[in-house]
Amino acid sequence: MLWACVLLPHLALDGVLRRRPSCDAPLALVSGSAQARTLFAVNTPARAAGLYRGQRLSAAQALLSQFETVEYDPAATEHWHRLLAAWAYRYSSDVVLFPHAIVLEVSKSLGLFGPWPRFEAQLREDLTALGFRHRIALAPGAQAAYVLAGIHDGLAVMTPDALQRALAPIALRYARLPADAGTALPAMGIRNLGQLLRLPRDGLQCRFGAPLLAYLDRLSGAAPELMEAYRPPDTFDLRMEWTHEIEHVEALMFPLRRLIGDLATYLAGRDGGVQRFVLELEHRSASPTRVVVGLLAAEREAALLFECTRGRLDRQQLPQPVVAMRVIARELPPFVPAGRDLFDTRPAHAMPLDQLRERLRARLGERAIQHLRRTIDPRPEYAQTTTDNTHLPEASEASLHSQATAIIPRPTWLLDRPIPLHGPSPTILAGPERLETGWWDGGDLRRDYYVVRTSQGQCAWVFCPPGEPGRWMLHGWFA
């Protein structure tokens, strides 16, 4: 077993910063009661100005006149934590949530993503794209990886022996010891983990009780670690809110891109896709504006999802400024990647056909793209149906062949409804062909169809009531 620990030292702050395009202005997260407001976290420009975590808000305001404050929200932080767990789930099926950290079992994943340096680079690239600062360490045990990540970013310990050597010099206050042991032991002259591990176990148990020994066993790999594995949720629901109001749709694009990116991250972790999701724009005093995004097939690529959402959002009128945005996806069908030919003849920069269809639908409407399918009904009006489904069963070669040899003439254009044919009387080329059917659904018809040539030279498909040639009704063109 090899466990990689992704430590997220600035989880709460990064969760706030990542929804803003730039972070040059000083910003601080504030927590505590109204009487004793303290800074919970500060960003780099604020720290440069002398602000620090735990400072009283009044003291900070005395130091720096202009800085933005955001209320620290533990629930939002928890949300980001879970989102990152969903992200980690795409790399490993064993993901465990630690405080401010995610630990994932990677020994089985190395075959696909490895070796470790490349895998680590991949993890770091993803996290940087998601906008979270991080520290990563690798160790044979989850608890050990968690401790090592706090000490040294990028440390990779592969074997138990090396782990013993790596743990030995760690000072006890960084060892995340349970309860009071972390403060009591240094007072007894025990400075680092190596010394602690060499102490007689009986004495330790008498002095500190069983939890410390159990912790040390888990840390050194002597006892199995029992942890609750992370399970990805079945629905996606992510909300993002701002301290200011956004009035223009264009200004929503940056946070929207983040939200959709998070959705794509979650979908990739679940190996699922999304076919229908709702974007809710919350206003201060009106009911939220709902933008429903429906796709032709399950998709999960961030760029495609973003473009579809943007196309629908562009057409949206905002009744009021937007204060928060939320993406809800409940139906997550399995994602089937589209197959592409190895020797594809299309140009290299070609946009996939599905993406093109989604782009057209985003602007022209949900029912803009249709396919025609022949039915077995002999009546011309019902001989074909339109379908929005893009994944039709392929027509078999046999049915194509039977069609190719069909002798009954059928036009290539059909009029929506038959209209009278005016002008000089046409020349009859073929016919009549009587269609007398439809008794089963009330759409009875009795017509003699002819192929005629009009005075303009067009080949037309016309019909007349049986026995009354001359009252021509135009129904199609042999174009």
Partner 1 sequence: MGNVVALASMLEGRQVWRGRAAHAPSGDQPTGWPALDAALPSGGWPEASLTEILLPADGVGELKLLLPTLARCTRAGRAVVVVAPPYVPYAPGWEARGVVMSRVDIVNADPRDALWAAEQCLRSGSCAAVLAWPTHADDRALRRLQVAADTGKALAFVFRDRRHAAQASPAALRLELETQPALQVLVRKCRGGNAPSRPVPLSANGP
The site for partner 1 (CB under 8 A) is made up of 346-347, 349-353, 355-357, 359-360, 363-365, 367-374, 380, 383-384, 386, 390, 392-395, 400, 403-404, 406, 410-416, 456-460, 476-479
- Taking the least distance from each CB to partner 1, the nearer of 243 and 390 is 390
- Taking the least distance from each CB to partner 1, the nearer of 159 and 458 is 458
- Taking the least distance from each CB to partner 1, the nearer of 165 and 391 is 391
Q: Minimum distance from CB of 342 to partner 1 (Å)?
A: 14
Question: What φ, ψ does residue 174 adopt, rounded to 5°?
Answer: -95, 0
User: In terms of DSSP bridges, do strands 135-139 and 289-299 run parallel, antiparallel, or are they unpaired?
Assistant: unpaired
Q: How far apart are CA 310 and CA 293, in angstroms?
A: 10
Strands (E) in 76-223, as ranges, are 95-98, 101-105, 135-139
CB-based contacts of 32-37 (< 8 A; 24+ apart in sequence): none
Quote the tokens at residue 366: 């949900």
Among residues 171, 144, 172, 168, which one has the least CA distance to residue 156?
144
- Taking the least distance from each CB to partner 1, the nearer of 148 and 459 is 459
Q: Minimum distance from CB of 245 to partner 1 (Å)?
A: 32
Question: Please, what is the angle between helix 160-167 and helix 142-151, to 10°?
Answer: 40
Question: Please, what is the angle between helix 302-314 and helix 353-364, to 10°?
Answer: 20
Q: How far apart are CA 219 and CA 178, in angstroms?
A: 12
Q: How far apart are CA 450 and CA 446, in angstroms?
A: 13
Count how many Cα atoms sit within 13 Å of the Cα of residue 29 in the half-sphere of its side chain.
Answer: 20
State the Cα angle at 359 between 353 and 364, rounded to 5°. Answer: 125
Q: Minimum distance from CB of 346 to partner 1 (Å)?
A: 5
- Taking the least distance from each CB to partner 1, the nearer of 54 and 420 is 420
Question: What's the maximum distance between 2 C-alpha atoms anywhere in the chain?
Answer: 115
Q: How far apart are CA 217 and CA 378, in angstroms?
A: 79
- Taking the least distance from each CB to partner 1, the nearer of 261 and 476 is 476
- Taking the least distance from each CB to partner 1, the nearer of 48 and 351 is 351
Q: How far apart are CA 120 and CA 101, in angstroms?
A: 15
User: In terms of DSSP bridges, do strands 274-283 and 289-299 run parallel, antiparallel, or are they unpaired?
Assistant: antiparallel
Q: Minimum distance from CB of 351 to partner 1 (Å)?
A: 4
Q: Minimum distance from CB of 389 to partner 1 (Å)?
A: 10
Question: What φ, ψ does residue 447 adopt, rounded to 5°?
Answer: -140, 150
Q: Minimum distance from CB of 390 to partner 1 (Å)?
A: 8
- Taking the least distance from each CB to partner 1, the nearer of 93 and 370 is 370
Q: Minimum distance from CB of 422 to partner 1 (Å)?
A: 13
Q: Minimum distance from CB of 141 to partner 1 (Å)?
A: 50
If 0-12 CB within 10 Å is exposed, 13-18 middle and 19+ buried, where does residue 445 land?
Answer: middle
Q: 190 with 207: CB under 8 angstroms?
A: no
Q: Minimum distance from CB of 474 to partner 1 (Å)?
A: 9
Q: Minimum distance from CB of 444 to partner 1 (Å)?
A: 21
| Amino acid (1-letter code) at residue 12 | A
- Taking the least distance from each CB to partner 1, the nearer of 343 and 440 is 343
